[in-house]
Amino acid sequence: MSKSKKQNEKLERQVVAEIRSTLRSLGWVVWKNHGSAYTEAGLPDLMAVRRGEFIAIEVKRPGARSRTTQAQRRWIRRLGREGVLAIVATSADEVLLAVEGQGEPESGEQSDG
């Protein structure tokens, strides 16, 4: 694995950790979905629930928001149609804005880039 690929992966992991920590500090129950042969492709990275609210978050490193896959965009649309707040986010601040209803990050309608 190249050095730049390792740095990109580490950065996304840092964003995941930041979002998890922030949401947990606000009383959310948060879990990370790990891809395997038993999960559907494109399932959002993080799920969180608090007092009946549910959010699904596809996490991207800063600058990579447009790199959602077709399967990820399909999941975001599918969950959104079911009333779930399903977003693509590159920071905890973006998640908080969406949760607080002050603005919502782009909904995953990006190109595969």
User: What is the residue-averaged pLDDT of the chain?
Assistant: 84
Give 58's strand partners.
88
Residue 2: per-residue pLDDT: 56
Q: Which of 5, 19, 10, 13 is nearest to 91 (CA)?
A: 19
pLDDT tens-place string over residues 67-94 = 899 999 999 999 999 999 999 999 999 9
Q: Note whether 30 and 62 are within 8 A (CB).
A: no
Q: What are phi and psi of 112, to 5 degrees?
A: -70, -10
Q: What is the residue extent of each domain of the chain? A: 3-99
Three-class DSSP category at 76: helix
Average pLDDT, stretch 24-35? 94
Q: Give dist(CA 90, CA 106) in Å, integer.
A: 10
Long-range contacts of 62-65 (CB under 8 A, 24+ apart): 62/11, 62/15, 62/90, 62/91, 63/90, 64/8, 64/12, 64/90, 64/113, 65/90, 65/105, 65/106, 65/110
Residue 10: per-residue pLDDT: 56
Predicted TM-score (pTM) of the model is 0.79
CATH pick for 3-99 out of 3.40.1350.10, 3.90.79.10, 3.30.920.30, 3.40.800.20: 3.40.1350.10
Give 30's strand partners.
48
